[in-house]
Structures are given as structure tokens and as C-alpha cells.
């Protein structure tokens, strides 16, 4: 059996030195369910590494128990999940339920192809931010920084 281990090494070497490394914080990124569109999340992993974060990317086909267990073991400061094929409501509900049952209180954000009304429903469910297509790298980094700051406040 092939198990996709967390990838710690950078997917590529950052081209630019990050302007500031304020946090040295660790972000857990994962795809959930059977969706396998990973362009967005691989790009976000690179953007966040360039912005000075430590990123643990869990790969595809994760379910809530594994994401939460890894977040606890890796002492992650936030969790980010990406969707393209319409699983966002089911999987985020499962993830938040699992976080509650494990007592894990860190910000969770998601992104991808998500209709506007679902994005609102996700926020109402407790998702800290929903990042929709068409963001520049600087926007992504700023929004992650923002949700971590709110989480710490």
C-alpha cells in the first residue's frame, strides 16, 4: 500500500527571500475527499513558504480524522483545505465536528471553486476564511496572516 506521507521539504526553493519572517508558524494544508485537483493547494503551499511559513502538505484523499490527528501531532497553527469538485460542505462539516470532538482550537480556512452562498454558509459553520479563485500571492499571504492574528487575539 502507498501511504502519502506529509511532505516537509519545499516543493521548490523560494526565489525571493521573504521580506519578513514574523511568525515561523506552521500551516497544515490538505485536500479532502476524493477530489484530486491540486493546482491551487500546491500553489498556495509555495506562496505560504515564500511568505515565511512552515507548510506541511498532506496530499490528496484525506479524511477528517487524519487531518485533525496530523494537526495535533505537528502542532499546526492553522489548517487550510482546498476543494474543486463540490465536496466542500460535507468535508468541512466533518472536519469541524472532528476538531470539536478532539478539542482542537485553531483557525481553519479553505479555498477553491466554492459558490458564494456556500462560502457564507462555511463561515457561519466556523470556517475562518474562504479564499476564492483569482487571488494574487500577496492577498493569500495577507489573509492567512490576518486569520492567525485574529485566532491569537
Partner 1 sequence: MSDAAKQQPAGRARDYEEQLFETGAGIGIRALYQPEDTGDFDVGRDLGEPGDYPFTRGPYPGMYRERIWTRRFQVGFGSPQETNERIKYLHGQGANGFVITIDLPTSYGFDSDDQIADGEVGVTGVPISTLEDMETLYDGFGPDAVSYALSIRPPVSAVTLAMLASVAERKGVPFDKVIGTQQNDPFYQMSGGPLQTVTQFFPLDGTLRLCVDNIEFISKNMPRLNWMVTNGYNLRETGINAIQDGAFTLGHAFDIFRRARERGLDVDLFPRRASFFLSCSIDFFEEIAKFRAMRRIYARTMREEFGATNPECWRLRFSVQSAGNTLTRQQPQVNIIRASVEAMAAVFGGAQSIHLCSYDEAHGLPTEESSRMALRTQQVIAYESGITKTIDPLGGSYYVETLTNDMEAAIRARLADIGERGGMVACIREGWLEREINAERIKNQKDIDSGRRNLVGVNRFRIPPEEEVPIATHKIRADVWGARRGEYLRQYRAGRDPQAWADAMAHIGRAWKAGENMVPALMNAVKNKVTMGECHEAMRQAQSWSFR
The footprint of partner 1 (CB under 8 A) covers 1-2, 4, 11-12, 15, 33-39, 42-43, 46-47, 59-61, 85-87, 89-91, 94, 113-116, 118, 132-134, 136-139
Q: Are strands 26-31 and 78-83 parallel, antiparallel or unpaired?
A: parallel
SS3 of residue 105 by DSSP:
coil
- 15 versus 124: smaller Cβ distance to partner 1: 15
Q: Least CB distance from residue 151 to partner 1, whole Å?
A: 22
What one-character DSSP code corresponds to residue 117?
Answer: H
Do the beta carbons of residue 50 and residue 10 sit within 8 Å?
Answer: no
What one-character DSSP code corresponds to residue 38?
Answer: -
Q: Least CB distance from residue 118 to partner 1, whole Å?
A: 8
- 38 versus 54: smaller Cβ distance to partner 1: 38
What residues contact 68, with CB distance under 8 A and at least 6 apart? 95, 98, 99, 102, 104
Q: Least CB distance from residue 4 to partner 1, whole Å?
A: 5
Q: Are strands 54-57 and 108-112 parallel, antiparallel or unpaired?
A: unpaired
Q: Least CB distance from residue 23 to partner 1, whole Å?
A: 21
- 113 versus 125: smaller Cβ distance to partner 1: 113
- 90 versus 100: smaller Cβ distance to partner 1: 90
Amino acid at each position: 500500500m502507498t501511504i502519502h506521507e506529509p511532505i516537509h521539504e519545499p516543493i521548490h526553493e523560494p526565489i525571493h527571500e521573504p521580506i519578513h519572517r514574523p511568525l515561523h508558524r506552521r500551516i497544515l494544508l490538505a485536500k479532502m475527499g476524493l477530489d484530486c485537483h491540486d493546482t491551487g493547494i500546491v500553489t498556495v503551499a509555495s506562496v505560504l513558504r515564500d511568505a515565511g511559513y512552515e507548510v506541511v502538505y498532506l496530499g490528496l484523499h484525506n479524511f477528517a480524522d487524519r487531518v485533525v490527528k496530523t494537526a495535533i501531532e505537528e502542532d499546526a497553527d492553522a489548517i487550510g483545505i482546498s476543494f474543486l469538485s463540490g465536496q466542500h460542505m460535507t468535508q468541512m462539516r466533518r472536519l469541524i465536528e472532528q476538531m470539536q470532538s478532539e478539542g482542537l482550537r485553531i483557525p481553519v480556512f479553505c479555498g477553491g471553486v466554492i459558490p458564494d452562498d456556500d462560502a457564507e454558509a462555511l463561515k457561519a459553520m466556523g470556517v475562518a476564511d474562504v479564499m476564492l479563485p483569482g487571488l494574487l500571492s500577496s492577498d493569500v499571504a495577507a489573509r492567512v496572516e490576518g486569520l492567525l492574528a485574529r485566532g491569537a487575539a
